[in-house]
Chains A and B, each alone.
Chain A
Amino acid sequence: MISHFLKLEWKQFFRSSSFSKSIGAKILIGFFGLYFTVCFLLIGIGAYWILKKQFPEQDPLVLVNSFLMYVIVADLIFRYLMQKLPVMNIKPLLVLPIQKSKIVHFILTKSSCSFFNILGLFFYVPFSVVLITQGYNLAGILGWLASMILIIQSVNFFNFLVNKNNSVLVGLLLLLIFGYFIQYFNWFDLPGFIGKGFDAVYQSPILSLLFLVMLIGLYMVNFKQLRNEVYLDALISEQTKEINSADLSFLEKLGDLGPFIKNDLRLIWRNKRTKSSVWMIAMGLLYGLFFYPNPMYADMEFIYVLVGIFSTGTLLINFGQFIPAWDSGYFNMLMSQNFKYERYLKSKFTIMAISVVALFVLGIPYIYFGWKVLLVHFAAMIYNLGVNTHVILLGGTFNRKRINLDEKAAFNFQGTGAVQWIIGIPLMILPMAIFGLINWLIGFEIATATIAVMGFIGIALHKKFMAAITKKYITNKYVMIHAFKQEN
């Protein structure tokens, strides 16, 4: 039976009509995976000595243990955003003589082999090996390692339980912040307290059985829940909950563009794929926090441009790169309706432009890192408005992939083609390079001004650009109609 399932999965993977087309994206994901694997492996091997050198008076294992709480919570949050419950097209299987519990066991087992679960091992296993060679108690380390593996698996199944529940995510985030603060102010060492628990596992490895019990428990709960959902109506009843539509009539003031903008807002708000990319916008806005607090980047002013473009342009990039594929589901209808293509594109442009300005305003607190940062962000905003909006609309004419709006966004590369990768060059690399060069040759002010002026030129030529882009869309119409019909 299992071999049947595996065969089906195999065929699904290789026979999907988008397989050969999205091979590039798959290779890229592969590279990311490899990169992370190697990083974890190196850290796993080196961690013992690094910690020994940095904190000579502390036991590296105890040190690692005291941070495990953060690791586990962060892992959970990361999974919540990224990991999908493995899907399997169960509908055709339901009426065949296959036990439903088998299907559920298969799905759950498959999930525990996910990359997310294996990645951690590349740290824990070499770290444990090093500890053993350094004379740690063999049984203790094995017990500890087993606990880690069991915890990873437990997190895996816990994630599926909380996956449909946003409040759990908020709770976890609060726990993370809370834990950080009480450690920061030395009130109570919660992570350390939890760390002590892991120390105890090392002392008496038998305790790792507790985690086994936890894993089995979580598996059972998952199994029970899923087993109840292996019905067609379970899927339906979830869908048809009552909806309340927000009153968007104020948008009618936008005249011609009103109906399209209204639609696009609904598109973003009412579909899984777009909804989860709202999270991406939040992450994009906070992108600067990766760089600015780090003194290493203090002198690298061209980084400001990258952050500026990215933080004011996350919606522009996330939303814009899939124009007009967002509308692929009903593209035929749009193409046989009576409206000017330009009106359609202009509404997309307006949404992107508004988002760029709004995100800039939300990003004003970046001034904390210096007025230069804000100034560059402002220039980047202008550049986004004048240049990137047009570039991304033009890139849209190369979109040839249908998008299914009902699927989650993270690690969903449906609809992604070479364009989405290549377009990053004019979008981000080019302004960075120009800024970097002029900053180096002449000075900061001129470099910033250049970026802004490029944006202003773009804004001035807006009408011309739009006309040219519209023409391009119209000539590509039939190819798009054909391509958007292809199911993946």
Chain B
Amino acid sequence: MIETTQLSKKYGKVEVLNIASLEIPTGQSFGLVGNNGAGKTTYFNMLLDLIRPTKGSITNHDIVVNQSEAWKNFTGSFIDESFLIGYLTPDEYFDFIGDLRGMNKADVKLFLTQFGEFFNDEVLGKKKYLRDLSKGNQKKAGIIAAMMGNPKVVILDEPFANLDPTTQIRLKKILKTLTENKEITVLVSSHDLSHVTEVCERIVVLDKGHLVKDIETSQETLKELESYFSV
């Protein structure tokens, strides 16, 4: 359960985010959409305690994120390329992250075997540094790293951007299996309405920092969102 209460972030006098109340129950697949500057990444950054809220707080499984670091044990995330270590090979990177998440080498290897199809032979076992991979392959590595070590919460910012169509479909499958047992909460932001409606059971629309729509996904959701954004 992730609870947001009276959250506000101001830069000077400009308020970039203001969420009075938002509850994301455990096991939900949660989608965040909104135009540029709506506050999606800001929200995720606050959830990861990378920026401090001006007011209010976010609680991740009963832990106030900017007071204790215990949430790090069960939260995996990938926001952007700055989460990758450019001078490591993907394999070394997974070993490193795995080590921080309490997995030994064998665990990491076993974990990665599930994603052979997703990586499409372009990431693992290649003698290349992450910084030399294409944007899409970098993203693949980052997304999978966010799922390491049995997290209870997975946060992905724009996971579909830069991926090829095949990989997008495979990613959707992975995300769906992730939330199958209703144990892992997945938070995804995206500009692609159809992807989000397909993956997420609940979609929240942000506009200029405010929560303007909160929808249980259904057959009509995509239409509803499209008509909202086509103004």
Interface residues of A (CB under 8 A from B): 239-240, 242-245, 258-259, 262-263, 266-267, 270-271, 329-333, 335-339, 405, 478, 481-482, 485
Contact = CB atoms under 8 A, between A and B. Distances in A.
Q: Tell me the dominant secondary structure on chain B's binding face.
A: loop
25 contacts: A240-B132, A242-B127, A243-B89, A243-B129, A245-B127, A258-B99, A259-B96, A329-B85, A330-B82, A330-B84, A332-B48, A332-B83, A335-B50, A336-B49, A336-B72, A337-B100, A337-B101, A338-B73, A338-B101, A405-B87, A478-B50, A478-B51, A478-B52, A481-B50, A485-B82
Contact of A335 (B49, B75, B149): B49
B87 A267 contact: yes
A483 to B, nearest CB: 12
A338 B92 contact: no
A258 B105 CA distance: 13
Nearest to A274: B87
A331 B82 contact: yes
B72 A338 contact: yes
A330 B85 CA distance: 6
Given A270-B87, A336-B75, A337-B100, A245 B50 contact: no
B48 A336 contact: yes
Interface of B: 48-52, 69, 72-73, 75, 77, 79-80, 82-89, 92, 95-97, 99-102, 127-129, 132, 149
Contacts of A485: 82
B139 to A, nearest CB: 14
B86 A243 contact: no
Contacts of A267: 87
Contacts of B73: 338
B100 A482 contact: no
A252 to B, nearest CB: 9
Given A263-B96, A338-B72, A243 B50 contact: no
Contacts of B52: 478
Contacts of A482: 51
B88 A337 contact: no
Specify which of B49, B87, B88, B132 lies most central, judged by the most chain A CB atoms within 10 Å of its CB: B87
A330 B99 contact: no
A338 B96 CA distance: 12
Specify which of A240, A333, A481 lies most central, judged by the most chain B CB atoms within 10 Å of its CB: A333
A229 B51 CA distance: 42
A478 B51 CA distance: 6
Contacts of B88: 263, 266
A336 B87 contact: no
A240 B128 contact: yes
Given A243-B89, A244-B127, A335-B49, 13 more contacts: A240-B128, A263-B85, A266-B92, A270-B87, A329-B86, A333-B82, A335-B48, A337-B72, A337-B100, A338-B73, A405-B87, A478-B50, A481-B51
A337 B132 CA distance: 24
Specify which of B50, B86, B101 lies most central, judged by the most chain A CB atoms within 10 Å of its CB: B50
Contacts of A263: 85, 88, 96
Contacts of A239: 132
A331 B85 CA distance: 9
B101 A333 contact: no
Contacts of B72: 336-338
Nearest to B86: A329
Contacts of B49: 335-336
Nearest to B45: A332
A332 B41 CA distance: 13
Contacts of A331: 82
B96 A243 contact: no
A25 to B, nearest CB: 25
Contacts of A244: 127
4 residue pairs, one from A and one from B, having the closest CB atoms: A333-B83, A338-B72, A270-B87, A259-B99
Contacts of B87: 266-267, 270-271, 405
A243 B127 contact: yes
A336 B77 CA distance: 8
A145 to B, nearest CB: 47
A434 to B, nearest CB: 40
B128 A245 contact: no
Specify which of B73, B82, B89 lies most central, judged by the most chain A CB atoms within 10 Å of its CB: B82
A331 B48 CA distance: 13
Contact of B83 (A243, A245, A270, A330): A330
Contacts of A242: 127-128
A336 B51 CA distance: 11
A223 B132 CA distance: 27
Specify which of A262, A331, A336, A337 lies most central, judged by the most chain B CB atoms within 10 Å of its CB: A336
A339 B70 CA distance: 10
A329 B96 CA distance: 16
